[in-house]
Structure 1
Amino acid sequence: MAKQLPYQTLTEIFQRFAAAEPEPKGELDHVNVYTLVVAVALSAQATDAGVNKATAKLFKIADTPQKMLDLGEEGLIEHIKTIGLFRQKAKNVMKTARILVEDYGGEVPSSRAALQSLPGVGRKTANVVLNMWWGHPAQAVDTHIFRVGNRSGIAPGKDVDAVERAIEDNIPAEYQRHAHHWLILHGRYTCVARKPKCAACLIRDLCEFEEKTL
């Protein structure tokens, strides 16, 4: 685990990220906040590309909780059976749809606590939805962010909660809204797990990683 980078260095890092990609976007396809919740829940232990392939047709016919209930669990499974853990995920999606219809008038709630009360929706999923749909500076720490945060010194921490706190406590406020997207994309395409592409890295001169590749 690298040591926490100083504030000035973090400011320079995020200035570079912002200059390269001013409005970073998540890579899960969705058409509204409900389909975003479903897509993020389906993405656990799966790739965004795999989820997008499975939901391309699904979201054309089931883009509201009621339409999902009308489709039914077996109908949902037919669309998502290429995704890992699809049976359990299908059960959670159907339970969530019923709760949203019966308790929230078919609308997705905008509070973290309410989102986390939904089946299959953990803190990471709730943070993604809060950030991507409502623009909250919520930090959804996945494996990419955990790796980048610890490897670089941007947000070191022994677990995802510690990394989330390190982002919130140390990254300048003006970069908080997009921080998790910049870090995910950096981890997905540059600071990859096995052999990071340090030669192509925007922040290689600021990063604490000792085993840089050339």
Structure 2
Amino acid sequence: MENRRLIFATGNEGKMKEIRMILGDLGYDIVSLNDLHLDIEIEENGTTFEENAIIKAKTIMEATNEMVMADDSGLEVDYLDKAPGVYSARYMGENTPYTVKNHHIMHLLREAKDEQRTARFVSVIACVFPNGEVITTEGTIEGRIGYEEKGENGFGYDPIFYLPEFGCTIAQLTLEQKNEISHRGKALRKMRERLEEKRGL
């Protein structure tokens, strides 16, 4: 009988909320690393979002021998040659507050005009099965770097990520709106389709 548990390799409860909203009715019991009290050191030394997502999922799968999903996401700013990219979480040091990171990026773009401020959020989700099989999906959202931080609803780089079609930053959207258009939301919905196909639903 198929194992009905799915481990998502994160301790971030905000992320788990989004994951359960999108994958909840697939019939899996979706648990986080916190739920399992798992504290495993994961060395994210990949050079792409995909490599890092697979490293995370494989590390936890090898420790539990269960089906595991993980994501790796980041911000690519074209004016900065796609930095911070895979180093988004560790940019300027892991414990640096995002307000400091956001202001630093806006400072680096101080000479950049609107059309030079293009950026995107990228999310890759990896699903690793105990038999070693790996499925990955990717989602992106395009926008621009704003001129000031705006909005209280997001985290990370959300307050400076401006969406021209909405006339606001991601941090000014509701959680429902964000799930609808976010890079992780898109990657999760693609993953959902892949799992449904795999199970022949």
TM norm structure 1:
0.29
Q: Which has the larger radius of gyration?
A: 1
TM-score by length of 2: 0.30
State the structure with bigger RCO (CA 8 A, min sep 6), 1 or 2.
1
Task: Decide which structure has greater helix share.
Answer: 1
In terms of fraction of residues, the more strand-rich structure is 2
